[in-house]
Chains A and B, each alone.
Chain A
Amino acid sequence: MRRRDEREAPMSDAYEFPVDRTAILGFAAALGETNRIYWDEAYARATPLGVVIGSPTFAAASAHWNPWAGLRGVRQIPAPPPRPKQRAESGGEGAPRGGGSLARLLHGEQRFEYHQPMRAGMRLTVTSQPGKSWEKEGKRGGKLRFTETITEYRDERGELVVTATSVGIITEKAVEG
């Protein structure tokens, strides 16, 4: 992973992710959560956390705010956001190739590191970096192309809240398992 120099100007592809209680509630409801920490302020106040927080995978809901997410009803894999600096450095390797069918895009792995709880009311800044990229001959799906993306969620003071590492797989044909 390429470390961001703190003295650098904010990356051009950073976007804001306001941690909204209604969004936390809707996300928790979709997972069948019955834990009141995800919507009940009075309940949350009586816990050591003190406020409503997002569930462990709630960072995924930042897709709503990601201007490059491209998964809002379109049928093509989104082209990567403009990263002129990195393209010059790496020749564009590591970034997903745009234009393929979304039917060929699978989610292979996901990892979250939690630095502090994602609290309702936070205004997070989200930045993504391409990670490793590799290819493998799959047993069922033909050639598989793996691309890693590392996404950082930082609070108003620039402190890390969550680091998310995602591995996407682009397949040649439908892969059923």
Chain B
Amino acid sequence: MAANPRLRFDDLSVGESREAVLVENLTRTQIVQYAGASGDFNPIHHDEPFAKAAGYPSVFAHGMLSMGLTGRLLTDWLGDGVLRSFGVRFVRQVWPGDTLTGRASVRSLEARAGEGLVGLELVTTNQKGEPVVTGEATASLLRRA
């Protein structure tokens, strides 16, 4: 999905939300791909014997992979370069095989001259409906002339 460059502040209303499947059946390969792209080679995320020796059932995804996937929901909906803040808590680990669904809901709308500030609440859940990432974001969108 390409970003929607035409979305305007006036198009949004409080309570409105967007939901999207962010990844289906997460593979170890994608976790390794993220390790390579981000430069985070903590072996807990790619070295299964290391993870098991540490007491985990398998490797698990970087929190930042879940955050990055959640960010895709925001940019696909709101557009590119419009985010002003994006903060999350990693509340549960994400494991190989997980399917993640993100949901962003408009919580506040603050009109300013020429633009408007959108406050959003975020939650990304796994296939069991358990939240893995919760957070907030703000975005600045242009107003209709």
B-binding residues in A (CB < 8 A)? 23, 26-27, 29-37, 47-49, 53, 55-57, 60-64, 66, 69, 71-73, 75, 101-114, 117, 165, 173-174, 176-177
Q: Which residues of A sit under 8 angstroms from B23, Cβ to Cβ?
A: 32
Other A-B pairs beyond A69-B39, A72-B39, 16, CB < 8 Å = A30-B38, A30-B68, A37-B3, A57-B64, A60-B38, A61-B39, A62-B39, A63-B39, A63-B40, A102-B43, A106-B63, A108-B89, A110-B90, A111-B86, A114-B84, A177-B91
Query: Within the assembled complex, what's the spacing in Å between the Cα atoms of A64 and B33?
Result: 14
Cβ-neighbour of A60 out of B40, B87, B88 (below 8 A) = B40
Assuming the contacts A35-B3, A176-B93, asked whether A114 and B38 have C-beta atoms less than 8 A apart, the reply is: no
Q: Which residues of B sit under 8 angstroms from A103, Cβ to Cβ?
A: 43-44, 50-51, 53-56
Assuming the contacts A47-B5, A56-B71, A60-B64, asked whether A111 and B38 have C-beta atoms less than 8 A apart, the reply is: no
A102 touches B44 (CB 8 A): yes
B95 to chain A: closest residue by CB: A176
Chain B residues numbered 92-113 whose CB sits less than 8 Å from any CB in chain A: 92-93
Query: Is B25 part of the contact surface with A, judged by Cβ < 8 Å?
Result: no
Q: Which residues of B sit under 8 angstroms from A34, Cβ to Cβ?
A: 1-2
Q: Which residues of A sit under 8 angstroms from B1, Cβ to Cβ?
A: 34-35
Q: How far is the CB of B45 from chain A (nearest CB, A)?
A: 10
Q: Which residues of B sit under 8 angstroms from A174, Cβ to Cβ?
A: 54-56
B86 touches A71 (CB 8 A): no
Query: Within the assembled complex, what's the spacing in Å between the Cα atoms of A56 and B79?
Result: 11
Q: Which residues of B sit under 8 angstroms from A63, Cβ to Cβ?
A: 38-40
A-binding residues in B (CB < 8 A)? 1-3, 5, 22-23, 30, 33-34, 36-44, 50-51, 53-57, 62-65, 67-69, 71-72, 74-76, 80-81, 83-93
B39 touches A110 (CB 8 A): no
Q: How far is the CB of B89 from chain A (nearest CB, A)?
A: 5
A26 touches B37 (CB 8 A): yes
B142 to chain A: closest residue by CB: A48
A32 touches B56 (CB 8 A): no
Q: How far is the CB of B110 from chain A (nearest CB, A)?
A: 17
A102 touches B42 (CB 8 A): yes
Which of A23, A60, A106, A173 has the most chain B CB atoms inside 10 A of its CB? A60
Query: Within the assembled complex, what's the spacing in Å between the Cα atoms of A54 and B74?
Result: 14
Query: Within the assembled complex, what's the spacing in Å between the Cα atoms of A164 and B57?
Result: 31
Query: Within the assembled complex, what's the spacing in Å between the Cα atoms of A133 and B69?
Result: 28
Would you mind naming 10 contact pairs between A and B with Cβ atoms under 8 Å apart?
A: A30-B30, A49-B80, A55-B75, A60-B38, A63-B39, A75-B43, A103-B43, A112-B83, A114-B86, A117-B80
Q: Which residues of A sit under 8 angstroms from B80, Cβ to Cβ?
A: 35, 37, 47, 49, 53, 117
